[in-house]
Amino acid sequence: MSDFTKVVLNDDEIPRQWYNIVADLKNPLPPPLGPNGKPINPDDLAPVFPMNLVEQEVSTERWIDIPEPILEKLSLWRPSPLYRARNLERALGTPARIYYKNEGVSPPGSHKPNTAIAQAYYNKEFGVKRITTETGAGQWGSALAMACCQFGLECRVYMVRISFDQKPFRKYMMQVWGAECIASPSDRTRSGRAILEKDPDTPGSLGIAISEAVEDAVSDENARYSLGSVLNHVLMHQTVIGLEAKTQLRKVGEYPDVVIGCAGGGSNFAGLSFPFLYDKINGRDMRVVAVEPAACPTMTRAPYAYDHGDVAGLTPLLAMHSLGHTFVPPPIHAGGLRYHGMAPLVSHCLRENLIEAVALHQLECYAAAVQWARTEGFIPAPETSHAIAQVIREARQAKEEGKEKVILFNWSGHGLMDLTGYAAYFDGKLSDYEMPEDELQKYIGVMKDLPKPPTG
C-alpha cells in the first residue's frame, strides 16, 4: 500500500489493555514522599483519589485490562486515524515519511479524554459523586466535563485565569457538558484567597489551580480530585495511542526512526512513545524526542528533584524535573505546556537516556502550525505546534542528509478553540521568551530544603 493518506482501524481493534512502562524500567522510579519525607502509603492518597485508581498508580503489572464500559465510550472516537502528512512532505521536499496520530478527533478535540473517560469510570465505580480538577488551556477541563457527563458525575473545573480570559470558548464547552468552570485563583478556597491577597492580578498557574482543586476535593467526602497528566496511571491510560499506532504502522510495513511528542505534564508524549520505548528497552535502535516550550524549560534547564505538584504544597513530593512549585509561567499561548513539573515517568526516562528533550520558542511553533494548516488542512492546538516544529526540523535534516527517515508524532489536538493565539501571531503581538538564569535560580530555590532523589 503506497498511496494511502490514512490508516483506519475497526472498533474491535481498540487495544484491550493499557501498557505500564513501570514493569520494564531498569532502575525503579523513586517513590512519592509524604510530608514527613518518607514514602507515602497508598492509603494516604485515599482522600484525594479513589482507591481503584491509586492501585493503578502504584501497579507494576506490565499490562492492565481496560474495562468494557471504558472501551465502549472510547469507541465514540477511537481508534483514532493514523495519517501520513504527504502534503507537508512535498512542501518541505523531504525524503522523510511523516506519520501522525490525529487525537483531535475526540469530542473535546484532544488526547485528554483517553484518561478522562477512564478516570470518570473508576470514580463512578468507587461511588464518588463529584470530581474536581484544574485546567490550563481548557483542553483537560473540557475533556473531564465530557467524561463526567458520560458517566453521570458532577464536575468542577478550576481554570488558570489567563486561559479563562484568553480562551472563553472552552469554558462554554464545559458548560454544555454540565460542568462548573471557575477562574483560578478564586475566592472559593483558602489557597486561592491567599494568592489573590498577595497578587490580585496574577495570571494564575496550573500549580495554583491544582491546589484549589485538591483542597476542594479533600473537604468533601463525596468528591475526589482528578489530574489530567503527570501521574503514572494518567500516562498509562494514554498508551492506547501508541499501541494503536504500532498496529497501524505494521499494516503499512513501517516502523518509526524517531517518535516525537510535545510535553506539558507528559501524557500525550508518553501515550504515543511508551509502547515504542518498550521496543527500545528491548534493543530496538530509535530516537524518542519530547518537545517543551523554551519559556517553560522543565526538562532542558530545570533540575531533577523532589517537588510538590502544586503551589500550596498539598500534594506529595514527586521525583521529577521541576522549575519549582511556585513557578508562574510567562503568558505564552500553549497554556497546556506551562506546568512547572514533568511527569516522574518521563523525567525518569530522560535520566535513563531513553528519550531526548528539546525546547522551542513559540514564534517558530506558530510558523510551523501555519505551515501545517496550509498544507495538511487541520489547524493544530498551540501545544501540538511544538511537536510539529520539531517534526519540520527533523524532516529538513533528513533532506540535508539525503536520508529516508520515518517520523511519527502525536497530533495531540486541534486549535479551533485557540484562534485568539493565531490572531495575536498574525498581528505581530507575540514574542519569544527565554527565562533569564537568575530568574530560573530563584524559582528552583524553593526546592533546596526538600529531600533529594537518588543520583546515578
Ligand X SMILES: Cc1ncc(COP(=O)(O)O)c(C=O)c1O
136 binds ligand X (CB under 6 A): yes
**Contact stretch for ligand X (CB under 6 A) within 114-122, 144-152, 261-269, 390-398:** 261-269
Q: In the bound complex, what is the minimum distance in angstroms from residue 343's beta carbon to ligand X?
A: 8
CB atoms within 10 A of CB 256: 24
Q: In the bound complex, what is the minimum distance in angstroms from residue 94's beta carbon to ligand X?
A: 24
381 binds ligand X (CB under 6 A): yes
Nearer to ligand X, 15 or 271 (CB): 271
CB atoms within 10 A of CB 389: 26
Cell readout for 349 is: 526516562
318 binds ligand X (CB under 6 A): no
Backbone angles phi, psi at 242, to 5 degrees: -70, -35
Nearer to ligand X, 264 or 313 (CB): 264
Q: In the bound complex, what is the minimum distance in angstroms from residue 267's beta carbon to ligand X?
A: 3
Give the DSSP H or E segment for 351.
helix 344-351
The amino acid present at 282, given as its one-letter code, is N
Measured CA to CA in angstroms, residue 47 lies from 54, 128, 228 at distances of 11, 11, 18
Q: In the bound complex, what is the minimum distance in angstroms from residue 229's beta carbon to ligand X?
A: 3
User: Which position among 123, 186, 229, 390 is part of the footprint of ligand X (CB under 6 A)?
Assistant: 229
**Contact stretch for ligand X (CB under 6 A) within 76-84, 136-144, 249-257, 389-397:** 136-144
- Nearest to ligand X by Cβ — which residue? 336
267 binds ligand X (CB under 6 A): yes
Check: CB of residue 379 under 8 Å from CB of residue 415. yes
324 binds ligand X (CB under 6 A): no
Buried b (16+ CB within 10 A) or exposed e, 321-354: bbbbbbbbbbebbbbbbbbbbbbbbbbbbbbeeb
Q: In the bound complex, what is the minimum distance in angstroms from residue 437's beta carbon to ligand X?
A: 25
Nearer to ligand X, 56 or 229 (CB): 229
322 binds ligand X (CB under 6 A): no
Give the DSSP H or E segment for 267.
helix 267-281
Closest CA to 32 of 320, 351, 321: 320
User: Which position among 185, 266, 344, 453 is part of the footprint of ligand X (CB under 6 A)?
Assistant: 266
Q: In the bound complex, what is the minimum distance in angstroms from residue 141's beta carbon to ligand X?
A: 9
Q: Which of residues 335-374 bind ligand X (CB under 6 A)?
A: 336-337
Cα–Cα dist 390/217, whole Å: 38
Q: Where are the alpha helices (DSSP H) in 100-239?
A: 113-126, 139-151, 161-166, 168-176, 190-198, 206-218, 232-237
User: Which position among 113, 192, 207, 413 is part of the footprint of ligand X (CB under 6 A)?
Assistant: 413
Q: In the bound complex, what is the minimum distance in angstroms from residue 68's beta carbon to ligand X?
A: 26
Backbone angles phi, psi at 51, to 5 degrees: -65, -30
Q: In the bound complex, what is the minimum distance in angstroms from residue 139's beta carbon to ligand X?
A: 3
Cell readout for 54 is: 491509586
**Contact stretch for ligand X (CB under 6 A) within 48-56, 58-66, 137-145, 325-333:** 137-145
263 binds ligand X (CB under 6 A): yes
Check: CB of residue 198 under 8 Å from CB of residue 174. no
**Contact stretch for ligand X (CB under 6 A) within 5-13, 132-140, 370-378, 443-451:** 132-140
Rounded to a whole number of angstroms, the CA Rg of the chain reads: 20
Give the DSSP H or E segment for 121.
helix 113-126
Cell readout for 191 is: 489557597
Q: In the bound complex, what is the minimum distance in angstroms from residue 334's beta carbon to ligand X?
A: 8
Chain residues that interact with ligand X, rule: CB under 6 A = 110, 136-137, 139-140, 229, 262-269, 336-337, 381, 383-384, 412-413
